[in-house]
């Protein structure tokens, strides 16, 4: 038993995976680029700072050094000259240079940011202070004319302190150069590590991009070869495989299977399309599991699948997919269903190709669809003839309507107890080339082509005319039921058009009954119940035809206000075979319908025994060959004149 969870449709979402990968790749890229640029920015700021400061300080140092030499030279010139004015000028100039040196030293100190360099500043500063005070003394001595002492003084202490200052400055320069070199090395190292980070992120980026690419390829491959929802192969893939088999002359070893879920539309409507999808996915798993090596199955669209199965395995395959029990787990409750496969089968010949296989399988499946009993149909060449005949029906329909080839027959409805004629059903016949064609040979075709609605109104109009004619003849008409296809329910003016004809022909609504099949209900319940309501308001009875052949009969009946329920003739089959269970069932169904205040009529009554059984279970009305087959109008009129049936046991 396959368990289908409530709306559970898990699909691998490759696009999501691809999106995630691309996102990861993009995030890695963005993070790597941000780290790299932030680091590089920080480094270059630091580097620039160190460089700028050091260059500035070096400049100050060099300026101080050259100013000091200039100053020293002035001191020598002061000692050398005897001209007082010269001395005074030189002394003033020396003072200006001292101020300049002070300013340079102050500027130097302002650029200092590490404690280390402060010692240089202090040493140079104190050296300069002692030099300047010594120079003052020298100027004094020199002004007093004691040049000898001044020279001595100059040579002994001043030159030494200048030398000392210069040494400090040289040592500072060496250190500053070293620091700049370190900064440069740092920068180079940073560039190398940045290169490494860049390379690593490039590798990761490429990795995720490659994964995204692989996923992209898988997605496009999947899109080309697989069906999106069920993830099974698509028809293109199957066609390619069939072509390959054909080239190898192996296609003739296979059988073409066109599988379709029986009444999937009903499953979808009853359980909702999401659960329908989940059922479809579970169904595909069974199909995939039933296919063996060398075979192939693909989705052909909707609930249709096409498979190529090896001839010797066909029975095994068909029994694996025939009936699939499933348990639906629906919001806490569980429901058991059987998914039934309907198949069109095509025995592949040497010259066949995929197009012929598909055409043949489609015809076979159509026959299975129209059959009430067969779920598996093999293609037969005559099916092409039937198809041509169907096409003939469509091609000739308009002309046949114009030439009045359609004629209305009436089948009596009889009260079982009194054997009195109590109504009739209008049934169409096509008198084609002098032969009477039964409706089963053309109604389903017209229904498929959407043309049956025109015929229904044609029949109904004839019914109205016949009723009027009977009145004119002085006959008392019985209520006539007319069949209307479920296709009318798509027409919002359906009720209005029915009423319009009654109005035109001035027919008493009491003589009219409208038959709609049970299958109309679950396909378009709202339109059906609206129609029934409109008819009720106009005093026209409605009946549910072929009751018991569909699915939701009971619930439909509960919600739909029809006047009459027509039990399908299949109900009588079991009774004929003497099945007690079937008898019980008919009895209960009849009682239940009566409990719901509906009238019951049973169709297809052929024997007195059937009629008596129906009477015994309180079914009042019957219709069937026991009383009459559908009769031409004139024949039926004779029944109206002699409305009591004399029955003989067979």
Instruction: Provide the binding-site residues for ligand C2E, judged by CB under 6 A.
Output: 411, 427-428, 438-440, 443, 452, 456, 459, 483-485, 545-546, 569, 603-606, 623-625, 630
Longest alpha-carbon distance in the chain: 176
Give one DSSP letter per residue of 464-525, joined into a string. HHHHHHHHHHT--PPPEEEEE-GGGGG-TTHHHHHHHHHHHHT--GGGEEEEEETHHHHHSH
Per partner kind, with CB cut-offs from 5 to 8 A, the member of ligand C2E, Mg ion, none near residue 606 is ligand C2E
Per partner kind, with CB cut-offs from 5 to 8 A, the member of ligand C2E, Mg ion, none near residue 456 is ligand C2E
Residues 506-525: x where in contact with Mg ion by CB under 5 A, - otherwise, as a string: ---------x----------
Residues 542-575 as b/e (b if ≥16 CB within 10 A, e otherwise) read: bbbbbbbbbbbbeebbeebebbbbbbbbebbeeb
User: Residue 517's closest CA among 570, 464, 492, 553?
Assistant: 553
Per partner kind, with CB cut-offs from 5 to 8 A, the member of ligand C2E, Mg ion, none near residue 624 is ligand C2E
Q: By beta-carbon distance, which residue lies closest to ligand C2E?
A: 624
Closer residue to ligand C2E (CB): 41 or 625: 625
Closer residue to Mg ion (CB): 362 or 517: 517
User: Residue 563's closest CA among 512, 611, 610?
Assistant: 512
Query: Which one among 408, 545, 593, 628 touches Mg ion, defined by CB under 5 A?
Result: 545
Q: How far is the CB of 297 from ligand C2E (least distance, A)?
A: 36
Residues 578-607: x where in contact with Mg ion by CB under 5 A, - otherwise, as a string: -------------------------x----
Closer residue to ligand C2E (CB): 440 or 646: 440
Q: Are strands 621-622 and 406-415 parallel, antiparallel or unpaired?
A: antiparallel
Q: How far is the CB of 605 from ligand C2E (least distance, A)?
A: 6
User: Residue 232's closest CA among 303, 129, 175?
Assistant: 303
Which helix (H) or strand (E) segment holds residue 545: the answer is strand 541-547
Per partner kind, with CB cut-offs from 5 to 8 A, the member of Mg ion, ligand C2E, none near residue 569 is ligand C2E
Measure Cα distances from 373 to 58, 96, 262, 369, 379 in Å.
108, 125, 12, 9, 17
Q: How far is the CB of 310 from ligand C2E (least distance, A)?
A: 41
Phi, psi of 545, rounded to the nearest 5 degrees: -85, 160
Q: From the CB of residue 518, how many other CB atoms can be counted at a distance below 10 Å?
A: 25
User: Residue 565's closest CA among 582, 576, 549, 581?
Assistant: 549
SS3 373: coil
Q: How far is the CB of 438 from ligand C2E (least distance, A)?
A: 4
Closer residue to Mg ion (CB): 53 or 545: 545
**How many angstroms separate the CA atoms of 531 and 529, rounded?**
5
Q: How far is the CB of 641 from ligand C2E (least distance, A)?
A: 22
Q: How far is the CB of 533 from ligand C2E (least distance, A)?
A: 21
Q: Are strands 435-437 and 512-517 parallel, antiparallel or unpaired?
A: unpaired
Residues 218-251 as b/e (b if ≥16 CB within 10 A, e otherwise) read: ebeeeeeebbeebebbbbebbbebbeebbeeeeb
Per partner kind, with CB cut-offs from 5 to 8 A, the member of Mg ion, ligand C2E, none near residue 227 is none
Q: How far is the CB of 547 from ligand C2E (least distance, A)?
A: 10
230 binds Mg ion (CB under 5 A): no
Closer residue to ligand C2E (CB): 11 or 454: 454
Per partner kind, with CB cut-offs from 5 to 8 A, the member of ligand C2E, Mg ion, none near residue 411 is ligand C2E
Per partner kind, with CB cut-offs from 5 to 8 A, the member of Mg ion, ligand C2E, none near residue 439 is ligand C2E
Closer residue to ligand C2E (CB): 498 or 605: 605
| Candidates 58-66, 68-76, 475-483, 632-640; binding stretch for Mg ion (CB under 5 A) | 475-483
Q: How far is the CB of 526 from ligand C2E (least distance, A)?
A: 21
Window 603-632: residues binding Mg ion (CB under 5 A):
603
Q: How many CA atoms lie within 13 A of 340 on its CB side?
A: 11
Q: How far is the CB of 521 from Mg ion (least distance, A)?
A: 14
Closer residue to ligand C2E (CB): 108 or 430: 430
**How many angstroms separate the CA atoms of 350 and 251, rounded?**
7
Query: Which one among 298, 422, 482, 483 touches Mg ion, defined by CB under 5 A?
Result: 483
Closer residue to ligand C2E (CB): 79 or 427: 427
Which helix (H) or strand (E) segment holds residue 432: the answer is strand 420-432
SS3 193: helix
Q: How far is the CB of 222 from Mg ion (least distance, A)?
A: 48
Encoding tokens for residue 310?
Answer: 């090896």
**How many angstroms separate the CA atoms of 408 and 419, rounded?**
24
Q: How far is the CB of 601 from ligand C2E (least distance, A)?
A: 11
Phi, psi of 334, rounded to the nearest 5 degrees: -125, 150
263 binds Mg ion (CB under 5 A): no
Hunting for tokens 């001839």 — which residue is that?
Answer: 311
Q: How many CA atoms lie within 13 A of 8 on its CB side?
A: 11
**How many angstroms separate the CA atoms of 520 and 489, rounded?**
8
DSSP state of 337: E
Contact 112, 187 (CB under 8 A): no
User: Residue 279's closest CA among 302, 307, 308?
Assistant: 302
**How many angstroms separate the CA atoms of 610 and 589, rounded?**
16
Per partner kind, with CB cut-offs from 5 to 8 A, the member of Mg ion, ligand C2E, none near residue 440 is ligand C2E
Closer residue to Mg ion (CB): 415 or 483: 483
Q: How far is the CB of 527 from Mg ion (least distance, A)?
A: 19
Per partner kind, with CB cut-offs from 5 to 8 A, the member of ligand C2E, Mg ion, none near residue 459 is ligand C2E
**How many angstroms separate the CA atoms of 631 and 455, rounded?**
19
Closer residue to ligand C2E (CB): 57 or 598: 598
Q: How far is the CB of 632 from Mg ion (least distance, A)?
A: 18
456 binds Mg ion (CB under 5 A): no
Encoding tokens for residue 525?
Answer: 């319940």
Closer residue to ligand C2E (CB): 438 or 539: 438
Closer residue to Mg ion (CB): 483 or 524: 483
Window 235-254: residues binding Mg ion (CB under 5 A):
none
The residue ranges of DSSP E strands in 180-295, in sequence order, are: 233-234, 254-261
Closer residue to ligand C2E (CB): 98 or 390: 390
Contact 161, 127 (CB under 8 A): yes
Q: How far is the CB of 549 from Mg ion (least distance, A)?
A: 8
Closer residue to Mg ion (CB): 263 or 603: 603
Per partner kind, with CB cut-offs from 5 to 8 A, the member of ligand C2E, Mg ion, none near residue 416 is none
Q: How far is the CB of 627 from ligand C2E (least distance, A)?
A: 8
Contact residues: Mg ion, CB under 5 A: 483, 515, 545-546, 603
């Amino acid at each position: 038993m396959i368990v289908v969870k409530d709306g559970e449709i898990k699909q691998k979402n490759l696009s999501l995976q691809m999106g995630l990968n691309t996102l990861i790749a993009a995030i890695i890229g963005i993070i790597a680029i941000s780290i790299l640029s932030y680091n590089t920015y920080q480094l270059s700021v630091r580097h620039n700072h160190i460089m700028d400061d050091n260059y500035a300080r070096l400049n100050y140092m060099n300026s101080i050094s050259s100013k000091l030499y200039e100053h020293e030279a002035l001191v020598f010139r002061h000692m050398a000259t005897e001209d007082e004015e010269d001395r005074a000028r030189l002394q003033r100039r020396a003072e200006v240079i001292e101020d300049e040196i002070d300013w340079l030293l102050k500027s130097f100190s302002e650029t200092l940011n590490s404690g280390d360099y402060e010692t240089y500043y202090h040493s140079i500063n104190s050296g300069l202070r002692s030099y300047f005070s010594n120079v003052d003394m020298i100027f004094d001595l020199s002004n007093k004319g004691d040049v000898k002492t001044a020279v001595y003084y100059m040579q002994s202490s001043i030159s030494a302190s200048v030398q000392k200052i210069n040494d400090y400055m040289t040592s500072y320069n060496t250190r500053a150069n070293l620091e700049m070199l370190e900064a440069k090395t740092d920068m180079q190292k940073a560039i190398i590590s940045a290169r490494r980070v860049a390379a690593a992120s490039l590798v990761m980026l490429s990795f995720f991009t490659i994964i995204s690419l692989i996923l992209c390829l898988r997605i496009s491959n999947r899109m080309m070869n697989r069906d999106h929802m069920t993830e099974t192969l698509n028809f293109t893939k199957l066609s390619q495989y069939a072509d390959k088999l054909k080239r190898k002359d192996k296609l003739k070893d296979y059988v073409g299977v066109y599988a379709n879920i029986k009444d999937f539309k009903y499953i979808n409507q009853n359980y909702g399309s999401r659960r329908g999808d989940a059922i479809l996915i579970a169904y595909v798993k069974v199909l995939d599991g039933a296919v063996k090596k060398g075979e192939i199955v693909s989705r052909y669209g909707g609930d249709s699948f096409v498979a190529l199965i090896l001839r010797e395995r066909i029975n095994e395959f068909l029994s694996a997919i025939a009936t699939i029990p499933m348990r639906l787990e629906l919001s806490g409750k569980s429901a058991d269903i059987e998914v039934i496969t309907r198949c069109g089968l095509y025995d592949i010949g040497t010259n066949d190709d995929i197009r012929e296989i598909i055409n043949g399988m489609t015809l076979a499946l159509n026959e299975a669809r129209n059959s009430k009993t067969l779920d598996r149909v093999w293609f037969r060449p005559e099916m092409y003839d039937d198809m041509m005949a169907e096409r003939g029906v469509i091609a000739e329909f308009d002309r046949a309507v114009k030439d009045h080839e359609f004629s209305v027959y009436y089948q009596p409805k009889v009260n079982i107890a009194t054997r009195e004629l109590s109504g009739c059903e209008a049934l169409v016949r096509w008198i084609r080339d002098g032969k009477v064609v039964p409706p089963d040979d053309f109604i389903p075709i017209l229904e498929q082509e959407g043309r049956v609605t025109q015929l229904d109104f044609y029949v109904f109009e004839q019914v109205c005319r016949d009723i009027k004619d009977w009145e004119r003849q002085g006959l008392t008409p019985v209520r006539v039921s007319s069949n209307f296809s479920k296709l009318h329910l798509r027409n919002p003016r359906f009720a209005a058009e029915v009423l319009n004809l009654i109005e035109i022909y001035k027919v008493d609504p009491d003589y009219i009954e409208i038959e709609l099949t049970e299958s109309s209900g679950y396909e378009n319940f709202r339109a059906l119940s609206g129609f029934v309501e409109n008819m009720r308001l106009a005093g026209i009875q409605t009946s549910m035809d072929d009751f018991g052949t569909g699915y939701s009969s009971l619930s439909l009946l509960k919600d739909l206000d029809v006047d009459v329920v027509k039990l399908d003739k299949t109900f009588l089959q079991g009774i004929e075979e003497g099945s007690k269970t079937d008898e019980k069932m008919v009895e209960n169904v009849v009682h239940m319908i009566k409990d719901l205040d509906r009238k019951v009529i049973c169709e297809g009554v052929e024997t007195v025994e059937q009629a008596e059984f129906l009477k015994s279970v309180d079914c009042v009305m019957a219709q069937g060959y026991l009383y009459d087959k559908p009769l031409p109008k004139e024949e039926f009129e004779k029944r109206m004149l002699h409305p009591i049936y004399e029955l003989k046991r067979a």
